[in-house]
Structure 1
Amino acid sequence: MSAEASTTQAVTRVRSRTVCLPDANIDTDRIIPARFLTTTTRAGLGTVAFNDWRYREDGTPDPEFALNRPEAQGAQILVAGRNFGCGSSREHAPWALLDFGLRAVISAEIADIFRSNSLKNGLLPIVLDAAVVDELLANPGIELDIDVAASTVTLPDGRSFAFPIDGFARTCLLEGVDQLGYLLKQSSAIQSFEEQRCHAR
């Protein structure tokens, strides 16, 4: 894998309105149906994100679906019901959400594999207390300020809530690299260490 393939969009802060999907147990097949998994490229996957939910049988957008509504356009934060991203481990799920324009997903519970895949690809999965998530779901379109370095979500009224995130994953998000990209950035230090070790023999 090249160094270019190991970079993602740096995520330091996300300020955006929310779009809400209150359903629980939204699985990865609902995020991106299995028939779209044949591609190995990310570009264009946003057009099929939530495909069987967003579109009617004739292929036209369903105006009742939350992400199709005019007020949702440009929203970068998805607030979802409990157990978001459950099901299969397809990495295409965070790819599709990112290509759609989302930068963060907030829920009271996010499936572990989806969470891991998201962090590796620059999508910020945030778990907050159920009462806070219920409040956000009851107020779609609310403006949030997510500070990745501080690991906080701030509401318009000034209340701030901390969310858990692995330190290494946070560093990768802030620097805009994946795991391999992080290692490649340390190549000079690694080379210096190896040279010193060889001389010490």
Structure 2
Amino acid sequence: MQAFTTLSGTAIPFGAENVDTDVIIPARFLKTITRTGLGKSAFTVIRSDPDNIFDSQRNKGAPILIAGDNFGCGSSRDPPPGALSDMGIKVVIAPSFADIFSG
């Protein structure tokens, strides 16, 4: 990931707590050896709702995700942070994070 000091843009007010890595990117999408292209499968269960917050016109291309406590809990695997990055998320703001997202 590329370092930056300032970011401005729309924030997706997701707010859900205890979002685990299987919600971020379900394991069934991790059968690829490349790290690119995972963004289209990120939050796939939530995005299956046509009125989901991620694909709304207002939030399209938003670089900021606002989440609840314990974001990224569950199994520690590399693809979830990469899936967020691939879908255009550059920053996640949350009260607390699981270890995989805390570094």
Structure 1-normalised TM-score?
Answer: 0.49
The CA distance in 1 between the partners of 2:27 and 2:88, in whole Å, is: 21
Ranked by relative contact order (alpha carbons within 8 Å, sequence separation 6 or more), the top structure is 2
1:2-47 deviation digits (Å, cap 9, x = unpaired): xxxxxx4332321111001121100000000011112231211110
1:80 corresponds to: 67
The CA distance in 1 between the partners of 2:34 and 2:89, in whole Å, is: 18
Shift of 1:64: 2.0
1:153-198 deviation digits (Å, cap 9, x = unpaired): xxxxxxxxxxxxxxxxxxxxxxxxxxxxxxxxxxxxxxxxxxxxxx
Partner secondary structure for residue 58 of structure 2:
helix
Counterpart residue type for residue 28 of structure 1: T
Equivalent of 1:25 in 18, 21, 26:
18
Number of aligned residue pairs: 103
Counterpart contact for 1:20–1:80, Cα < 8 Å: yes
1:158-173 alignment to 2 at 5 Å? Answer: none
Counterpart contact for 1:89–1:114, Cα < 8 Å: no
**Aligned-CA RMSD value:** 1.3
1:78-130 deviation digits (Å, cap 9, x = unpaired): 000111000011110011000000100000111122323xxxxxxxxxxxxxx
2:100 matches 1:107: no
The CA distance in 1 between the partners of 2:6 and 2:33, in whole Å, is: 28
Higher normalized strand content (fraction of residues): 1
1:90 corresponds to: 77
2:62 matches 1:69: no
Partner secondary structure for residue 66 of structure 2:
strand
The CA distance in 1 between the partners of 2:44 and 2:24, in whole Å, is: 8
